[in-house]
Structure 1
Amino acid sequence: MGIRTEYFVAATDEVAATALHAPGGPSEPDLRTDQPRFDSVAVPAVDPFVMLGGLAGVLSGRPYAEVTAHPRHGALVGSGGDEGPWIVTVAQTLVDELASAGPTRLAQAAREWSGTTTPAVPPQALVTALLSLGALAVRAADERHGMYCWTSLTD
């Protein structure tokens, strides 16, 4: 069993929680408009707790325990119960760091981050993930919205 993660942008925690009503996740098209419900990126297996905590530590230079102690690091805003899906927050400090880092810094961070993941994730896979997350963070900043992660279990 694995996890599926989709990071997305929403104006508030309450709006983000409405992604629970989309069985396919925040990128599922709205039936009325045929457009995705939220601006989102799928980032396979980058969980919003441990892996994102490691990334926050790499980008900020702060210890893992400090970044994961942030009250908005992985705070639950919506739950589909024991079987999920779940929606959690991404700390605004990490969103700001992602948005301001730029592609060169994100690629460097991916190489550093790769050495801290368990199991090890190839640096190139993390570069792709970080560039997507960075672009989403820029859009979140432009809209003055928060970033969230929709997570579900997979077979």
Structure 2
Amino acid sequence: MGVLTDYFRAADAATVVRALELTEGGLPPLGGEGSFDGVEAKGVDPDVVLGQLVAVALGEPWRTGLVTETAVWPATPAPGPAGPADEDDPWATGPWVTELGGAARDALAAIPDERVPEAVGRWAEAEEWDGADPSDLLPLAEELIALARRARAAGEQLYCWICL
């Protein structure tokens, strides 16, 4: 089973929650009328895979927690240490949305165009890419960087919608 991840930008978490309430947690199609500006990035989780691109952008080693995340959805309170009460709990089934910290957005947005191919080459070395060809990852990286730039320019945050 693969993990679906979409990245998008929005003014704030309240805007995201209102949109998700209308769709019962489904993300409106990205890029269409009345939807979020975003990028489909299957399997690019915020902490590890995107975090490794952020680490490259910052010129430092990857570490867990480099990309900070704040839970936005489900809109119900998060479960305690024992986890979700049952399999019907939205925290057990998803989808989930997190707001990424501004530092990740800014690090991606700051990668100069001329440095993107080199950054992607280093990103492709991540174990999670399993020897992927950097040229295959370049379009995705360019989309994520462009999204981060648009979010920064608009004073918006980046969000990640995750579904199993």
Mark the structure with the bigger radius of gyration: 2
Residue of structure 1 equivalent to 2:153 = 142
**TM-score, L = length of structure 2:** 0.78
Identical counterparts, % of pairs: 32
After superposition, give the CA deviation of every residue in 1:106-140 in whole Å (9 maximum; x if it has no partner): 22111101111324133123211110011111110
Q: Aligned residue for 1:115?
A: 125
Structure 2: distance between partners of 1:124 and 1:103: 15
- Aligned mates of 2:114, 2:70 — CA distance in 1: 29
- Residue identity opposite 1:126 in structure 2: L
1:75 equivalent in alignment to 2:77: no
User: What is the distance in 1 between the residues matched to 2:100 and 2:116?
Assistant: 17
Corresponding position of 1:50: 48
Whole-Å Cα distance in 2 between the matches of residues 144 and 61 of structure 1?
Answer: 24
Following superposition of structure 1 onto structure 2, how do residues 30-109 of structure 1 map, counting pairs within 5 Å? 35-65=33-63, 68-70=64-66, 73-79=68-74, 80-109=90-119
Secondary structure in structure 1 of the residue aligned to 2:69: coil
Unaligned runs of 5+ in 1: none
> 2:51 & 2:30 partners in 1: Cα distance?
27
One-letter code aligned to 2:138: V
Say yes or no: does 1:125 pair with 2:125.
Answer: no
The count of residues paired between Structure 1 and Structure 2 equals 146
Shift of 1:25: 1.7
